[in-house]
Structures are given as C-alpha cells and as structure tokens.
Amino acid sequence: METLYGEHIERDFPAGPDFEVDIHGISGEIKVRRGADDRVRLKARLDENDGAGISFEQVGTRLSFRPSVASPPIDIDFEVEIPAGCGLGAESIHADIDVRDTEGPIRLHSVHGDINVSHAGGSGIVSVESVDGDLSLSRIQGEITLSSVNGEIQMSEADGVLNVQTTNGGLIVDRSRLQRFHANTQNGELRIETPLVSGEHSFARSTNGEVELIVPADSAFTVQMKTTNGDLSCDLPHEVINGSRRNRQLRVNGGGATVELETANGDVRVRSTGAGNERAHHERDNHVDAPRAPHMPSAPHVPAPHMPHAPTVPPTAAVPPAPVIPPSPMMPQMPSIPGPDVIRDLSPDELSELERESDRVESENTLTILARLENGDLSVDEAMHRLESLR
C-alpha cells in the first residue's frame, strides 16, 4: 500500500471497464463521475494535512483509496473518475456521497450523510444504505436494494427490481418502470408509481403510514388491500373478490400481476397515473376558503299599513261581589255513641236523651256543608240548596 501526501492530490491509474474501485472516507465528501475508459483519475483535497495522506492499493483489478490515518478524523474531499462499466464501492462517516453517470454495479454506505445517485447502474446490483441520512436516486437501473434508518428515500425514473427496507423514513417512487417491488417500512409513507408486469408479485407494507400505488389506467392486476386503522380506495375499474371494509381483495381490469398493499395505521389507495394531480387540486380547492356568496341587496322597506284604532268599548257594569260567607264555627267534638249492647241496658230516660243527641248530630250536617263550601268543594248554590233541604 502506498500513500500520497499533500493538500491537493491528483493522479491517474491505468484501468479498464472490468475494474472495481473502492473509496473509504471518514469525513468530507465523495464524488464519483464517469471518465475515460482506460484509467481511474483521483483528485482529493485535504483540509488539514497534519502528516496525513491518502493511501491506495491495487490488487488485481481492484483499486482502493482510504485516509492514511483514521484518528483524528481528517476531512477529505474525493473526486474520482472511473470507466463507464467499472464497479464502485464507497463508504463514509460524516460525509455525503454523490455518484453520476456510471454503468457498473454500485455499493454505497453512509453514516450521518446523504447519498445522491443519478444516471447509474445498468448491470449488476445497485445497493445503497444510509443511517441518519436521506437517499435520492434518479434514472438508475438494475437490481436495486435500498436501506435507510432515520432518513427519507426518493427515487424517480428507475428501471429494474426494487427491494427496500426503511425504519423511521418514507419511500417515494415516481415515474418508474419496475419489474416488481418489495418494500417494507416502519413509521413511514410508501408511494410507488410504476406499471405492473403480468405474472410478477409485488408488495408494499408499512407499520405506520399511508400506502399508495399509482399505475397506468389500463393496468391488469389483483390486489390485496389491508389496513388496521384507515380507509381503502381504488379509482380503477374493479370487482371485489372478497373482503371487508379494511381487508379487501380486488380484481382490476381482469387481473394479471398480484400486489399486496398493507399498513397498520393509514389509508391504502390505488389510483391511476395522472389522477393524483386532479386529486391534489381537488383537496387544495376544498382546503382553501370557499368563495363567498354574492352580496344580496337588502329588501326594500315596506311600511306597515295604518291600522285604525279599535272602537272604545264601554266598561262592563260592575258585578256585585259574592256574598261573604262567615267563617265556619269551631266544630264541636262529636259525642260518643254507645254500641247496640249498651243501648239494650239503657233506661227510658237515657233512651230519650240518646234520641235528642242523635237529632243534634244530624243538625250538625249544616256545619259540614258550610265547611265544604269554604273549602271549595261546593258552590254557593249547591250549599244553599243543601242547607234548605235540612230545614
């Protein structure tokens, strides 16, 4: 292994399209571009050159670059040009990786850094892994494997087979042509736009986030849609094979490919290409304030017709007050009336006294009538009539 020193390093290495280049960075930036087909060109800048440099080693067709010392970490910006079909491996800590216009297999890994890949792949595997960083990929081909922890993945215009595993981050795939896709995420949204290939099986699963599949309107497939806490929707012509509100199997345009879409918390949607813009406009229009109704002119004031005064009605003749009924006298205590056995033992004088007492009790019915009159149980006329009958 040899070491190159200096704040600015530039050197060419003979190579061919069957070469493989490995770059190991600790801090800084790694950029890789397509260059000449017969060499690898290294350009590097070291921010702090305290006796550190870049070590390189070639074993067969493999060429590797790394800092000559790992501690303390040295900021090194790599700019490497490789042949079109050359394989590439890059690893970094606290550094971003940017790769463009390559055609060979790619293996990229970053911790605390973002990774950008465009116009790459075409043969072999494209493997990209990130921890605490975002992934952005466009116009890549091949067998694509992506992994992210605490970062978002955005991919567009991809072609091939897609395998994705994310934790605490979503996946957005736009305008791509995938043969099939297998996507799993924890705590993230999944949105995949691609045609479907008949006979291929694909799935997208999330534990906490929406899942959306966007396909051409004439796509033919069977889809299993499932959510624990959310809604299911499909805007393509379909028939329901079986299922319920949150677990449903649909046959779209007669069936073909098979797809599984599943989430624990979120909606699951299938829509046709182009419908998203219309839906977005519809949601935006519904979100903004609705237009106000035109101002309606006030109704003209119509004066109420003059109502003539009602004729004066002479006062009603005074009604003489009802006769004052004297308060009921204190009800005397009713005397005790002896029973039949006692009556048989009475003398003639005692019997006469008993008869007089009985007449007095009957006469006290007058007091009862007056009491009922006072309590409102009898009218004046009824009371007078009853009193008359007692006389």
Domain range holding 40? Answer: 1-151
pLDDT (0 to 100) of residue 222: 97
Residues 147 and 188 placed together within one structural domain of the fold: no
For residue 91, which of 74, 104, 107, 109 has the smallest C-alpha distance? 109
Tokens of 164: 């994705």
pLDDT (0 to 100) of residue 198: 95
Domain boundary among 280, 304, 321: 280
Question: What 3-state class would DSSP assign to 157?
Answer: coil
pLDDT (0 to 100) of residue 32: 97
pLDDT (0 to 100) of residue 366: 64
Q: Check if the beta carbon of residue 216 is closer than 8 Å to that of residue 256.
A: no
| Within a domain: 85 | yes
Domain count, the chain: 3
Domain boundary among 260, 280, 300: 280
Residues 31 and 135 placed together within one structural domain of the fold: yes
Residues 6+ apart with CB under 8 A from 103: 34, 84, 85, 120, 121, 122, 123
CA 121 to chain CA centroid, Å, is: 37
Residues 272 and 187 placed together within one structural domain of the fold: yes
Per DSSP, 162 falls in state E
| Within a domain: 326 | no
pLDDT per residue as tens, the chain (391 positions): 888 888 899 999 999 878 999 999 988 899 999 999 999 999 999 876 567 789 999 999 999 999 887 666 678 999 999 998 899 999 999 999 999 999 999 999 999 999 999 999 876 799 999 999 999 999 999 999 999 999 999 999 999 999 999 999 999 999 999 999 999 999 999 999 999 999 999 999 999 999 999 999 999 999 999 999 999 999 999 999 998 899 999 999 999 999 999 999 999 999 999 765 444 434 434 332 333 333 334 334 434 344 344 343 344 444 344 444 344 344 344 444 444 444 445 555 655 565 555 555 444 466 677 667 667 777 767 777 776 676 5
Which amino acid does the sequence have at 308? P
Provide the terminal-to-terminal Cα distance of the chain, rounded to the nearest Å.
148
Residues 141 and 188 placed together within one structural domain of the fold: no
Residues 190 and 275 placed together within one structural domain of the fold: yes
| Within a domain: 261 | yes
Domain boundary among 130, 151, 172: 151
pLDDT (0 to 100) of residue 294: 37
| Within a domain: 319 | no
Burial state string for 208-238 with b = 16 or more CB within 10 A and e = fewer than 16 = ebbbbbbbeeebbbbbbbbbeebebebebeb
| Within a domain: 195 | yes
Residues 85 and 224 placed together within one structural domain of the fold: no
Tokens of 373: 């009159």
Tokens of 125: 């595997």
Burial state string for 98-116 with b = 16 or more CB within 10 A and e = fewer than 16 = bbeebbbbbbbbbeebbbb
Q: How far apart are CA 299 and CA 49, in angstroms?
A: 87
Q: Check if the beta carbon of residue 79 is closer than 8 Å to that of residue 28.
A: no
Per DSSP, 383 falls in state H
For residue 237, which of 214, 271, 267 has the smallest C-alpha distance? 271
pTM recorded for the entire structure:
0.69
| Within a domain: 29 | yes
| Within a domain: 88 | yes
